[in-house]
């Protein structure tokens, strides 16, 4: 009995498990505002990945500029002029199909519709929701339409960690589990969040499209015995399919596509449930 228990403990201790987390909506309670540039309509707390996936010609881009600088600029300035003159870089965060970066760059450079005032309107709505929090992630982006060759939507998203996020990461590390972040958000913002949560920066992958998330999972499966993907949105679907175990989080309320719920091995409403899931995996393996 003693020898059997020792062998079981040794096998469990030697098994390598990695857990990959999406950021917005999974690790972070996220607030989003989207402005339709043509109609002027403001869409509150909308799922930007779902909005992007609704049209195969849409591409969600993350801007590598600081919110404070965007807010200081004259509101009538065209976004295209500002990005070009300030040499603001961007990353492709989400798209349904493969799109050449140069195609998106040309649209961002030549658009004559979106102004900084459109972006600033979104920023002003989000900031009161997150100011005063201990740790904050704020991202600004644009959804371009490659068919119409225009900036279709301006996006601002701000997030703060869910109550159980830090405890979950700490608990996984105590179990000997390796944790990662793979997200469409800016890497600089993710690294600050990772520092707070205790995830090493070299395990943070920012501006990750669905295809890149999938590749990250496949690469990690070459290094670990079991890879778990924890996500909350349609842009996590490919990664969830590639993972050994797929966990779908409902902690941030939103409508989940049926294909996402069908793919999930576990559905959770509190991030801390990941600890029990991983513990069970390690016991059974």
Q: Is the pLDDT of residue 245 over 80?
A: yes
Q: Which helix H or strand E contains 230, and what residues bound it?
A: strand 226-231
pLDDT value for 186: 81
| pLDDT number for residue 13 | 53
Contact 243, 263 (CB under 8 A): no
- The C-alpha atoms of residue 262 and residue 104 are separated, in whole angstroms, by 33
Structure tokens belonging to residue 193: 């969040």
Evaluate if residue 30 carries a pLDDT over 60: yes
Predicted TM-score of the model (pTM): 0.88
Query: Residue 283 has what pLDDT?
Result: 87
Q: Taking Cα atoms as reference points, which of 139, 158, 168, 138 lies closest to residue 247? A: 168
Three-state DSSP state, 231 = strand
Q: Given pLDDT bands bounded at 50, 70 and 90, which one contains residue 1?
A: very low
pLDDT score recorded for residue 216: 97
Nearest C-alpha neighbor of 252 from the set 84, 64, 31: 31
pLDDT at 85 over 80: yes
> What's the rounded mean pLDDT across residues 116-145?
90
Read off the pLDDT of each residue in 92-110 and give the average, rounded to a whole number. Answer: 95
Mean pLDDT for 144-156 is 97
DSSP-assigned beta bridge partners for residue 138: 158
3-class secondary-structure state, position 246:
strand
Give the C-alpha separation, 66 to 70, whole Å.
Answer: 7
Contact 15, 285 (CB under 8 A): yes
Provide Rg for the chain, Cα atoms.
20
Contact 183/236 with Cβ under 8 angstroms? Answer: no
Give percent of the chain with pLDDT exceeding 90: 81
Report the mean per-residue pLDDT for the chain.
92
């Amino acid at each position: 009995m003693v020898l059997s228990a020792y062998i079981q403990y040794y096998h469990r201790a030697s098994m390598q498990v990695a857990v990959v987390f999406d950021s917005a909506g999974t690790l972070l309670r996220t607030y989003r505002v989207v402005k339709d540039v043509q109609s002027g309509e403001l869409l509150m707390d909308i799922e930007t990945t779902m909005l992007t996936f609704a049209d195969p010609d849409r591409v969600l881009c993350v801007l590598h500029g600081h919110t404070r600088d965007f807010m200081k600029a004259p509101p009538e300035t065209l976004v295209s002029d500002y990005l070009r003159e300030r040499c603001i870089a961007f990353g492709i965060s989400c798209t349904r199909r493969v799109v050449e970066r140069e195609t998106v760059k040309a649209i961002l450079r030549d658009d004559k519709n979106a102004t900084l005032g459109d972006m600033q309107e979104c920023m002003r709505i989000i900031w009161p929701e997150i100011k005063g929090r201990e740790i904050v992630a704020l991202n600004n982006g644009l959804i371009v339409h490659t068919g119409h060759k225009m900036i279709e939507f301006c996006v601002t998203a701000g997030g703060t960690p869910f109550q159980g996020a830090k405890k979950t990461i700490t608990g996984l590390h105590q179990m000997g589990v390796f944790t990662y972040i793979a997200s469409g958000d800016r890497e600089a913002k993710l690294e600050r969040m990772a520092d707070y949560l205790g995830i090493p920066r070299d395990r943070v992958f920012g501006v990750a499209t669905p295809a890149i998330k999938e590749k990250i999972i496949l690469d990690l499966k070459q290094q670990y015995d079991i890879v778990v993907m924890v996500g909350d949105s349609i842009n996590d679907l490919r990664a969830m399919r590639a993972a050994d175990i797929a966990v779908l989080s409902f902690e941030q309320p939103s409508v989940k596509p049926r294909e996402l719920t069908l793919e999930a091995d576990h559905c959770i409403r509190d991030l801390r449930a990941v600890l029990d899931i991983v513990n069970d995996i390690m016991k059974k393996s």
